[in-house]
């Protein structure tokens, strides 16, 4: 995928009838289906059963099995509840009759109420000061480990600019946090709030476990550690546009027992909090 138009097409599932849908996969460099993809496709499936006056406000999910990139994923939506203000959906994703993922999602009719939010960290480096993944590949590709060079060479519909770039040739332990600016590639698309939420869900599974990895980065890396998303939750707050850079800001309060927890927020460049997220992931050192 090269741009947002191709990403939107990937996330827009085929309707098979009776609340059943089907979608295909595109690799992001892993031999298995990207968790953010199945997350966002499940949101697309759930939204297809929701009236127009309700929007997604929260989701909670579990990754049960690694997805096969070569065969379609089937999504089944169950209408758990249809209330006046809230509706709830349960989505199961399966391949070869085996469930690989489950999602619970809640949708809310827009209402007025009280408001507050945490602030964007002051003094954070702006995107213009930073290198993108594409810049890093171009400038340092000949010096990068083969696995990292391959990962950075995959075409993506999103441009990422990490605030802090670790040196893969001199790994060191880092604070338990990760901040990455991101924006969509390609021409601007007219999008409904629903489509924007699907895309943001897709993006939210990138970079999230780095915060849990960083405190032990001198010893462990993605080459000698088995990693996988175990669960993923999101809460959506405000409408937004993909016209400018946005900030993904994560912190990790704990890693223990081959699992690491990351949580954080997603802001617009002008400091509007649009979503929060949490994920626990597998961080299992490989035995030699």
CATH number (domain holding residue 227): 2.40.160.210
- What pTM was estimated for this model as a whole? 0.95
Q: Which of 61, 106, 276, 279 is catalytic?
A: 279
Domain count, the chain: 1
Please give the residue range of the domain that contains residue 11.
4-110+126-285
Would you give per-residue pLDDT tens digits along the chain (288 residues)?
889 999 999 999 999 999 999 999 999 988 999 999 999 999 999 999 999 999 999 999 999 999 999 999 999 999 999 999 999 999 999 999 999 999 999 999 999 999 999 999 999 999 999 999 998 888 887 777 787 888 888 999 999 999 998 887 788 999 999 999 999 998 888 899 999 999 999 999 999 999 999 999 998 877 788 999 999 999 999 999 999 999 999 999 999 999 999 999 999 999 999 999 999 999 999 887
The verdict on whether 205 is a catalytic residue reads yes
Q: Which of 4, 37, 197, 205 is catalytic?
A: 205
In a domain, 121, yes or no: no
How far apart are the C-alpha atoms of 47 and 34, rounded to whole Å?
20
How far apart are the C-alpha atoms of 105 and 47, rounded to whole Å?
9
Query: Could you tell me which residues come within 8 angstroms of residue 98 by beta carbon, excluding any fewer than 6 positions away?
Result: 65
In a domain, 21, yes or no: yes
In a domain, 55, yes or no: yes
The verdict on whether 142 is a catalytic residue reads no
In a domain, 70, yes or no: yes
Structure confidence by residue, pLDDT tens digits, 120-161: 999 999 999 999 999 888 888 777 778 788 888 899 999 999
The verdict on whether 229 is a catalytic residue reads yes
Q: Which of 41, 197, 204, 229 is catalytic?
A: 229
In a domain, 115, yes or no: no
Pick left, alpha or beta for residue 205 (phi over 0 → left; psi -120 to 50 → alpha; otherwise beta): alpha
In a domain, 119, yes or no: no
């Amino acid at each position: 995928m090269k741009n947002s138009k191709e990403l939107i097409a990937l996330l827009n599932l085929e309707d098979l009838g009776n609340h059943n849908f089907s979608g295909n996969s595109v690799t992001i460099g892993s031999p298995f289906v990207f968790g953010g993809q199945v997350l966002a496709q499940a949101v697309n499936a759930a939204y297809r059963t929701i009236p127009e006056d309700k929007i997604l406000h929260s989701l909670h999910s579990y990754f049960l099995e690694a997805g096969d990139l070569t065969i379609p994923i089937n999504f089944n939506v169950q209408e758990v509840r249809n209330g006046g203000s809230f509706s709830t959906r349960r989505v199961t994703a399966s391949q070869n009759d085996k469930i690989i993922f489950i999602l619970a999602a809640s949708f809310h009719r827009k209402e007025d109420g009280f408001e507050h939010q945490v602030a964007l960290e002051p003094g954070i480096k702006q995107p213009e000061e930073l290198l993108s993944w594409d810049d890093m590949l171009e400038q340092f590709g000949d010096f990068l480990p083969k696995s990292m060079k391959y990962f950075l060479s995959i075409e993506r519909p999103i441009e990422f600019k990490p605030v802090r770039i670790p040196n893969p040739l001199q790994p060191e332990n880092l604070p338990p946090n990760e901040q990455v600016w991101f924006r969509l590639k390609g021409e601007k698309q007219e999008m409904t709030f629903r489509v924007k939420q699907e895309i943001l869900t897709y993006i939210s599974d990138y970079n999230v476990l780095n915060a849990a990895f960083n405190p032990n980065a001198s010893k462990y890396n993605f080459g000698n550690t088995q990693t996988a998303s175990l669960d993923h939750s999101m809460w959506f707050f405000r409408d937004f546009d993909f016209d400018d850079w946005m900030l993904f800001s994560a912190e990790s309060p704990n890693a223990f027992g081959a699992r690491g927890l990351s949580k954080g927020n997603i802001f617009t460049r002008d400091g509007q909090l649009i979503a929060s997220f949490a994920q626990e992931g597998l961080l299992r050192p490989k035995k030699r």
